[in-house]
Each structure stands twice: as structure tokens, then as C-alpha cells.
Amino acid sequence: MTSTVTQSEEFDWEHPFQMIDFVLDPPVMATGVMITGVVDGDGNEGFVTISELDAVRVSPPARSHR
């Protein structure tokens, strides 16, 4: 299954310690998350150092009973 990822804001190299939300559509079930990508302003790729990672679930809309 392929998900579309929406990023809440662009990463800004001038501002460390940013809080950026990534929303997966459709939602996925996972047992772990690994973040990789460009780790410096020179385009070098590798593992990203983070201080906190929260994986949250958005509750689905309540079903109406008829």
C-alpha cells in the first residue's frame, strides 16, 4: 500500500528544533517508524537525529446509528 504524505510546513535550515507534522493518507498501521533523508544543507543523506517522535492516531468519525 502506498500512502501520500502531507507535511505541515517546510523544513527551515536556519531554525533548529522545529515541530513538523506528517500526515499519511490513507492512515497506516505500523509497529515502528524510521526517518531518513537529507541530514544537512549539503544534500548528504542518512539517519536523522531527533529528540522526540510522537506517532498519533486520528480517531475516525463516529458512525451514526439508524
The pLDDT tens digits for 16-45 are 778 888 888 877 777 777 777 777 767 777
Q: Provide mean pLDDT across the span 44-60.
A: 71
Q: How far apart are CA 5 and CA 23, in angstroms?
A: 6
C-alpha cell of 51?
Answer: 529528540
Dist CA 65 CA 59 (whole Å): 18
List for the chain the helix, strand, coil content (%; round to 5): 0, 20, 80
Q: Give the rounded percent of residues in the chain with a pLDDT score beyond 90.
A: 0
Task: Give the per-residue pLDDT at 65.
Answer: 64
Name the CA radius of gyration of the chain, rounded. 16
